[in-house]
């Protein structure tokens, strides 16, 4: 009887210990949470959504972002920002068939051959009845932009979405436009540098990135660096304030049309992407990113939802550091 009682007590203790261990294991994190630096400190007109930035020869920065006829803020030091107007204050009058023609989205600005090129999107939220337009300027200032109308479009009967445009110029001087949101992912077309529009000689629409359904990928931006083309994208969901789940991912290829793979070799067309920035602290849902090559290095330009300001969209700026094997990391 005594031996049996002792064995039962020992068995009970062992079972209890195993249960406690199982509970600890079940609730333990798989790996330490990623840590990211906070955005650089800026002031003034810091609201922005889907930002794109250019630095002129005079040293003035122009920031373009979603809203109205594409809103513009300026700075002389990339720290203090002033709202100065809109690129197309009357909207895209050519695009009245699209519900968003007075509220333009996701601008992309770049400078080539003495001209500033501004691509933008026209759509209504959740629809792929969308279009990409083009405006140009010789100064980038409000009031100086000439609209050149339609570049590319998508219809509700199709499987792609013509928004979030971004221009890339490859090592051979060829122009490429990436775009896309949800549906069948990120696409790319070739452009004619003389017109900024698609040439008749190549009307191919390339597929360069896609995620499994519901395919929450958008905001593509292709940046050449060190012999590669880096595809930055935003995974998951924007536009939900403090409930936003955007995060910035990257893959790379040796050709602008792909194939792109992430740091683990997973294809971008199979959902691959290496995360370089996600929610941390008051920085919620960072995304809508572009990259500016500035005098002090490569700067990641993005928006995030500020948890200290009720989820207001804010401009985020951080430098990129490039590792020995060529992959970017977000730094202060």
Catalytic residue ranges: 50, 218
Q: How far apart are CA 203 and CA 159, in angstroms?
A: 17
Question: Is the Cα torsion angle 151, 115, 297, 64 positive or negative in sign?
Answer: negative
Residue 137: partners with Cβ closer than 8 Å, 6 or more residues away: 87, 115, 116, 118, 144, 145, 146
Written as six digits, the tokens of 137 are 């300027």
């Amino acid at each position: 009887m005594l031996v049996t009682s002792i064995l039962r007590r020992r068995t009970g203790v062992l079972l209890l210990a195993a249960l406690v261990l199982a509970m600890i294991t079940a609730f333990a994190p798989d790996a330490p949470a990623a840590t990211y630096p906070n955005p650089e400190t800026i002031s003034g007109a810091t609201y922005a959504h889907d930002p794109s930035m250019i630095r002129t020869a005079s040293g003035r920065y122009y920031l373009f972002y979603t809203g109205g006829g594409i809103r513009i803020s300026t700075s002389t030091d990339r720290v203090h920002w002033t709202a100065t107007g809109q690129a197309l204050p009357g909207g895209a009058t050519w695009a009245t068939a699209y519900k968003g023609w007075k509220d333009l989205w996701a601008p992309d600005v770049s400078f080539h051959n003495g001209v500033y090129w501004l691509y933008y999107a026209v759509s209504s939220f959740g629809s792929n009845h969308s279009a990409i337009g083009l405006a140009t300027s010789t100064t980038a200032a409000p009031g100086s932009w000439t609209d050149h109308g339609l570049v590319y479009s998508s219809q509700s009967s199709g499987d792609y979405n013509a928004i979030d445009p971004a221009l890339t110029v490859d090592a051979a001087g060829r122009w490429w436009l990436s775009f896309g949101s949800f549906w069948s992912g990120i696409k790319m077309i070739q452009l004619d540098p003389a017109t900024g529009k698609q040439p008749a000689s190549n009307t191919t629409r390339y597929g360069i990135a896609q995620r499994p359904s519901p395919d929450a990928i958008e905001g593509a931006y292709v940046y050449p660096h060190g012999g590669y083309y880096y595809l930055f994208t935003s995974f998951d969901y924007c536009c939900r304030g403090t409930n936003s789940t955007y995060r910035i991912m990257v893959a790379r290829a040796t050709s602008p049309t792909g194939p792109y793979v992430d740091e683990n070799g997973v294809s971008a067309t199979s959902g691959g992407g290496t995360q370089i920035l996600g929610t941390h602290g008051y920085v919620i849902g960072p995304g809508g990113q572009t990259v500016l090559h500035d005098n002090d290095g490569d700067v990641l330009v993005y928006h995030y939802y500020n948890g200290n300001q009720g989820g207001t969209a804010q401009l985020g700026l951080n430098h990129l550091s490039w590792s020995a094997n060529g992959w970017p990391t977000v730094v202060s």
